[in-house]
C-alpha cells in the first residue's frame, strides 16, 4: 500500500521533503499540497508532484479522505494549529521543528495526543537519525564510562539579516536541546547563557557568539557555543567526556588532499548537505510508522520538553549570567 501524504508549507524544507518522498524513498507518494503562497505550492506541484491536488487551506488538506498522513513544514508559528487538526482527524503527521512556538501550545498537542490514546506525531529532530550521532550514542552507552561533561558547538557561516538573538535558541540550539537528551538519556535542570566578546560580523539585534551552559538531572554539564557568523563553514562539534575516556562526533566524510605543502579537507557550508542523509532516514521512519497508523521517533513529548527548555534559554539570554531552573511536568505513560 502506498501512503498518501499531503504537505502543508511548500517552502524550502517542505519542497525538499516532498522531493525525497517522490524520488528517494519508497512506500509513499505526495498527493496533496497547500501553502498560503499558492504559487509556491503550484511550483512544487509542477516540478515534483504533478498528480498532487492543491488545497487552499491546511485544514482542508488534513480533512481530505484522499490524504492518509500529513507533513507540516510551514512557518513555525503555524505548526500547532495543523498538528492539532491532524490529531483531531486521527492522521499521523510529521511536524518540522519547532513543534510549537509556545510551551502552552506544545502542551495542548501532548494532551490531545494522550486523549487520542496513540502516538500520531513525529517531530523533525533529524539529528537522532544522523549516522554520526548514532555511532556516538553507541560509544557513549558502552565504552567511555559514565558521561560527565559535553563540549559542543553549532556554527553557521552566516545567517539572514532578520535572524535575531532569540532565534539562536528557537531556530538553532533547539537541535542540540533535543539531541543531548537523547544522547545522554537525561533531562535538563537548568540553563545559563553568557555572551563573549561580539563578532564584528554580527549586528545590533544579534548577540553572536553565545555560550549556553546546561546542567542535567544526572549532573552532566554541557556547554554549547552558538556562533552563527563564524564565516568559515557549517560546523557541528560534539565531544562527550566520560569517566573512562572521551568520544567525538565524527566529522562529515571529506577527501583529504596533500598539496603545496599542506594537508587539507573541505568543510561543509550548508546545513542541508550536513544532514541530507538523516532527513532521508527520519522520513523513511515516518512513512513506516504512518503506514501502520501511528508515529515513531521524536515525539510530541520531546517537542514539548524542547519548548520548555527553549523558553528557559531565552529567559537566560535576557538575564545574562543568571542560572534559570528548568522544571518538567510528569511524562504521560504514552511516551515511556
8 is a contact residue toward ligand NAI (CB under 6 A): yes
DSSP string, 179-212: HHHHHHT--EEEEEEE--SPPTTSBTTB--SEEE
Q: Give the residue, chosen from 22, 64, 74, 122, that forms a contact with ligand NAI under the rule CB under 6 A.
A: 74
- Using the contact rule CB under 6 A, the part of the chain among 52-60, 138-146, 170-178, 253-261 near ligand ISE is 170-178
- Dist CA 177 CA 44 (whole Å): 32
Q: Compute the Cα dihedral for 224, 227, 232, 235 and give only its sign.
A: positive
38-47 helix and 12-23 helix, angle to the nearest 10 degrees: 20
175 is a contact residue toward ligand ISE (CB under 6 A): yes
172 is a contact residue toward ligand ISE (CB under 6 A): yes
- Mask: binding to ligand NAI, 158-197, rule CB under 6 A, as x and -? -------------x--------------------------
Residue 16: CB atoms within 10 A of its CB come to 17
Tell me the residue nearest to ligand ISE as measured from the CB.
271
Q: Compute the Cα dihedral for 251, 125, 297, 282 and give only its sign.
A: negative
- Using the contact rule CB under 6 A, the part of the chain among 29-37, 43-51, 183-191, 192-200 near ligand NAI is 29-37
Q: Which residue, 192 or 300, has its beta carbon nearer to ligand NAI? A: 300
2 contacts 265 by C-beta, under 8 angstroms? no
Residue count, binding to ligand NAI (CB under 6 A): 23
- Strand arrangement of the beta sheet that strand 28-34 belongs to: 53-55, 28-34, 3-8, 69-72, 93-95, 121-123
Q: Give the residue, chosen from 38, 40, 233, 246, that forms a contact with ligand NAI under the rule CB under 6 A.
A: 40
Backbone angles phi, psi at 305, to 5 degrees: -60, -40
Among ligand ISE, ligand NAI, none, what binds residue 156 when CB lies within 5 to 8 Å by partner kind?
ligand ISE
156 is a contact residue toward ligand ISE (CB under 6 A): yes
**Which alpha helices (H) appear in the chain, and where do they start and end?**
12-23, 38-47, 58-63, 79-88, 103-116, 131-142, 167, 174-184, 271-274, 276-291, 300-318
171 is a contact residue toward ligand ISE (CB under 6 A): yes
Among ligand ISE, ligand NAI, none, what binds residue 172 when CB lies within 5 to 8 Å by partner kind?
ligand ISE
Give Cβ neighbours of residue 78 (< 8 Å, ≥ 6 apart): 9, 58
- Using the contact rule CB under 6 A, the part of the chain among 5-13, 114-122, 134-142, 189-197 near ligand NAI is 5-13
- Using the contact rule CB under 6 A, the part of the chain among 171-179, 185-193, 249-257, 320-328 near ligand ISE is 171-179
Among ligand NAI, ligand ISE, none, what binds residue 8 when CB lies within 5 to 8 Å by partner kind?
ligand NAI
Least separation, in Å, of the C-beta of 91 and ligand ISE?
Answer: 25
Q: Give the residue, chosen from 116, 182, 271, 335, that forms a contact with ligand ISE under the rule CB under 6 A.
A: 271
Residue 173 has what DSSP assignment?
I
- Mask: binding to ligand ISE, 103-142, rule CB under 6 A, as x and -? ----------------------------------------
- Identify the CA nearest to 5 among candidates 13, 19, 262: 19
Binders of ligand NAI among 122-161, rule CB under 6 A? 124, 126
- Identify the CA nearest to 281 among candidates 85, 17, 11: 17
Q: Which residue, 119 or 154, has its beta carbon nearer to ligand ISE? A: 154
- Using the contact rule CB under 6 A, the part of the chain among 70-78, 103-111, 177-185, 301-309 near ligand NAI is 70-78
Backbone angles phi, psi at 71, to 5 degrees: -110, 120
Residue 161: CB atoms within 10 A of its CB come to 9
- Identify the CA nearest to 296 among candidates 286, 283, 281: 286
Binding site for ligand ISE (CB under 6 A): 156, 171-172, 175, 271
Binding site for ligand NAI (CB under 6 A): 8-14, 34-37, 40, 58, 73-76, 78, 96-97, 124, 126, 171
Amino acid at each position: 500500500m502506498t501512503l498518501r501524504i499531503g504537505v502543508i508549507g511548500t517552502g524550502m524544507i517542505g519542497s525538499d521533503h516532498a522531493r525525497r518522498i517522490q524520488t528517494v524513498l519508497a512506500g509513499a507518494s505526495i498527493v496533496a499540497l497547500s501553502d498560503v503562497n499558492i504559487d509556491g505550492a503550484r511550483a512544487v506541484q509542477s516540478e515534483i508532484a504533478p498528480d498532487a491536488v492543491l488545497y487552499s487551506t491546511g485544514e482542508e488538506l488534513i480533512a481530505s479522505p484522499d490524504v492518509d498522513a500529513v507533513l507540516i513544514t510551514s512557518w513555525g508559528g503555524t505548526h500547532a494549529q495543523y498538528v492539532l487538526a491532524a490529531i483531531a482527524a486521527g492522521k499521523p503527521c510529521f511536524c518540522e521543528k519547532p513543534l510549537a512556538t509556545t510551551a502552552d501550545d506544545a502542551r495542548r498537542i501532548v494532551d490531545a495526543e494522550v486523549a487520542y490514546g496513540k502516538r500520531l506525531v513525529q517531530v523533525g529532530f533529524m539529528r537522532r537519525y544522523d549516522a554520526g550521532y548514532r555511532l556516538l550514542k553507541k560509544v557513549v552507552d558502552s565504552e567511555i564510562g559514565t558521561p560527565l561533561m559535553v563540549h559542543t558547538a553549532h556554527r553557521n557561516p552566516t545567517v539572514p539579516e532578520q535572524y535575531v538573538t532569540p532565534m539562536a535558541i528557537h531556530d538553532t540550539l533547539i537541535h542540540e536541546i533535543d539531541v543531548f537528551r537523547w544522547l545522554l538519556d537525561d533531562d535538563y535542570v537548568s540553563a545559563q547563557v553568557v555572551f563573549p566578546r561580539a563578532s564584528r560580523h554580527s549586528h545590533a539585534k544579534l548577540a553572536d557568539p553565545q555560550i549556553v551552559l546546561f546542567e542535567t538531572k544526572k549532573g552532566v554539564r554541557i556547554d554549547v557555543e552558538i556562533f552563527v557568523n563564524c564565516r568559515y563553514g557549517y560546523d557541528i562539534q560534539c565531544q562527550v567526556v566520560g569517566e573512562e575516556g572521551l568520544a567525538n562526533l565524527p566529522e562529515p566524510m571529506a577527501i583529504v588532499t596533500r598539496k603545496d605543502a599542506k594537508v587539507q579537507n573541505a568543510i561543509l557550508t550548508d546545513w542541508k548537505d550536513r544532514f541530507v542523509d538523516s532527513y532521508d532516514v527520519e522520513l523513511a521512519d515516518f512513512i513506516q510508522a504512518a503506514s501502520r497508523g501511528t508515529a515513531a521517533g521524536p515525539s510530541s513529548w520531546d517537542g514539548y520538553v524542547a519548548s520548555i527548555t527553549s523558553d528557559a534559554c531565552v529567559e537566560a539570554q535576557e538575564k545574562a549570567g543568571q542560572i534559570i531552573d528548568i522544571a518538567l511536568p510528569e511524562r504521560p505513560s504514552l511516551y515511556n
